Structure 1
């Protein structure tokens, strides 16, 4: 800019006569002034370099802080993800624990119900056992009583048979009678023949039960009226004479065959 000014000045002055030629210049008498443009330019260049370095350092610091912030955010996100995963695992374990507790509670209720049922069944079985024991004891006493009665009756029959053997042989031969077993220890079967005039071989029989003190007729062929049989048994049980039974039953059979 100074060179342009100088060139324009020199060109303008070249077209006309110089003042030196005409007269002494006033500017030549003024003192010279130094504005320090070079120093200012140097200072401005240094300031610009420092400013650029400051800006560069600020940019680096901002980049480093941003990278550090991103790293911190990534770490926080990773921590959050891991904690979320831990929470999910804990939740699963909690659910499994609750399910296990529910299952154990259900099993506990089932076991308590089973124990209650078994206790009731045990009490019922104990009551049934006690009742059965009592029944067995009662039955045993009844059996012993019957055995004692049978033994007493057997002894009585044995004592009486010593006196009735000749008489029994007499009635067997005269009444056409034979005595057989009836398949049970307390029964005798008396079989008659020569009752039916049309058929002397036709037989009639009855079974005598001696299980109790009183005689009893259980079965007979041919069939007889129960009332008539009971009347004969009543006389026999009063007199305790076997001959009364043998004659009375033969008479009933003869009467039945005639009718």
Structure 2
């Protein structure tokens, strides 16, 4: 290893500055720099104006946007209020419509019930009318049949009367009998005298119904036993001879007077 030789070093030391002169100013020794303060001031002034204009424009824009925002908020609030009012009105109308619909539904049900009741009543009346019509037709047929039988019976009585008139006059005289109306078309009243031995003028009578197929005694004075009267009627209805009835009833009256 070789030893260091200071003489071989290439580094040179700076030469020492000469001592300052006592008569020379340090500032004078500095280079002269021109800062151009007027131009800088002018640029700063222009920048300030632009900056102030920018700030003012921004402030105006912010104020305008804020005012517009307030207007928009007010419009939205007013629109919200109107919408809320419209909703309340619609809710009231909806409630009213629902009540109206419920009322109309109830009225509809009542009308349907009334229609159903009237329909059922009409059906019952129609059925009753048909039943009554059938009954009326049956009654008319029965009445027609009875009228036909009465006409036939009347013809027989008239035919028989033509033959019995002389004989009837004979028995009216011999039985002390007179014939009167009884107040009805199909009834005759037969009045007897000379049935009471104690009073020949005392009368006894009976009413005879002749409208049916058989003779029938309705009333009599004095009162006779029903069984005896029915026996006389049975014989007469079998033979259709009125003289037999007149003789039989006189015998019953005479018997009743004696008792």
Q: TM-score range by the shorter chain?
A: 0.7 to 0.9
For residues 56-71 of structure 1, what are the structure 2 equivalents within 5 Å? Answer: 56-71=56-71
Name the counterpart of 1:144: 144
1:206 aligns to what SS in structure 2?
strand
Name the counterpart of 2:5: none
Equivalent residues, number: 237
**Which whole-Å CA distance do the structure 1 matches of 2:161 and 2:33 have between them?**
188
For residues 91-110 of structure 1, what are the structure 2 equivalents within 5 Å? Answer: 91-110=91-110
Q: CA deviation at 1:213?
A: 2.5
TM-score, length of structure 2 as denominator length: 0.78
Name the counterpart of 1:90: 90
For residues 1-259 of structure 1, what are the structure 2 equivalents within 5 Å? Answer: 26=25, 43-259=43-259
Q: CA deviation at 1:170?
A: 1.9
Question: RMSD of the alignment, in Å?
Answer: 2.8
TM-score, length of structure 1 as denominator length: 0.78
Give 5+ residue unaligned stretches, structure 1.
1-22
Give 5+ residue unaligned stretches, structure 2.
1-21
- Larger helix percent: 1
Query: Any idea what the Cα deviations from partners look like across 1:127-159, whole Å, max 9, x if unmatched?
Result: 212211221121112111111111111111111
Q: CA deviation at 1:46?
A: 4.5
CA 1:160–1:29: 2 relative to 1, 3 Å = closer
Query: Any idea what the Cα deviations from partners look like across 1:210-243, whole Å, max 9, x if unmatched?
Result: 1222211111122221111101111212222212
**Which whole-Å CA distance do the structure 1 matches of 2:54 and 2:240 have between them?**
152
**Which whole-Å CA distance do the structure 1 matches of 2:94 and 2:136 have between them?**
61
2:101 aligns to what SS in structure 1?
helix
**Which whole-Å CA distance do the structure 1 matches of 2:36 and 2:134 have between them?**
142
1:98 aligns to what SS in structure 2?
helix
CA 1:77–1:109: 2 relative to 1, 3 Å = same
1:147 aligns to what SS in structure 2?
helix
